[in-house]
């Protein structure tokens, strides 16, 4: 299980784990719950340049289709093919089912700590 207090969060319901200049990105349990049963995940290609705030993929559930936003600018260095092959793994454990790893150009302003994210969602991460 991921240490949720060590993560950064976005207002778009993504979590970020930093390891030097590599950021592992996924969606939160709150987002997975709001989506319902995830049935499709589209991720950017390895080597793609991404810009913070730009749409980089899609996540589809039985209830809706949502866009995935890059929380950071940089280059995609890895995608989680297991999530693409089995999108339901996001519902089984959103904090273990990371989506992409990005070599970041810098840390953006506006990331939230766990307490701020929980306050934003009304008590859930």
CATH number at residue 48: 2.40.50.100
Task: Give residue 96's domain range.
Answer: 4-105
- Give the CB-side neighbour count of residue 86, counting CA atoms within 13 A: 8
Number of domains in the chain: 1
Residue 112 counted as domain residue:
no
Nearest C-alpha neighbor of 117 from the set 13, 2, 36: 13
Residue 120 counted as domain residue:
no
Residue 35 counted as domain residue:
yes
Q: What is the pLDDT of residues 98-107, one digit of tens each?
A: 999 999 987 7
> Is 89 a residue whose pLDDT tops 90?
yes
Residue 119 counted as domain residue:
no
Report the alpha-carbon angle 59-60-61, nearest 5: 130
Nearest C-alpha neighbor of 103 from the set 27, 41, 50: 50
Q: What is the pLDDT of residues 21-38, one digit of tens each?
A: 999 999 999 999 999 999
Q: What is the mean pLDDT of residues 41-57?
A: 95
State residue 73 phi and psi, 5-degree precision.
Answer: -95, 145
CA 51/CA 68 separation, integer angstroms: 12
Residue 19 counted as domain residue:
yes
Residue 101 counted as domain residue:
yes
Residue 68 counted as domain residue:
yes
The torsion defined by the Cα of 88, 11, 6 and 38, in degrees rounded to 10, comes to 0
Q: Is the pTM of this model over 0.75?
A: yes
């Amino acid at each position: 299980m991921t240490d949720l207090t060590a993560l950064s969060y976005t207002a778009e319901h993504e979590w970020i784990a930093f390891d030097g200049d590599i950021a592992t990105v996924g969606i939160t349990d709150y987002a997975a719950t709001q989506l319902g049963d995830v049935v499709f995940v589209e991720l950017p290609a390895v080597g793609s340049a991404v810009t913070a705030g730009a749409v980089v993929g899609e996540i589809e559930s039985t209830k809706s289709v949502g866009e995935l936003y890059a929380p950071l600018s940089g280059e995609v260095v890895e995608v989680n093919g297991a999530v693409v092959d089995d999108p339901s793994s996001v519902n089984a454990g959103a904090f273990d089912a990371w989506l992409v790893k990005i070599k970041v150009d810098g840390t953006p302003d506006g990331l939230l700590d766990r307490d701020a994210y929980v306050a934003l969602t009304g008590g859930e991460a």
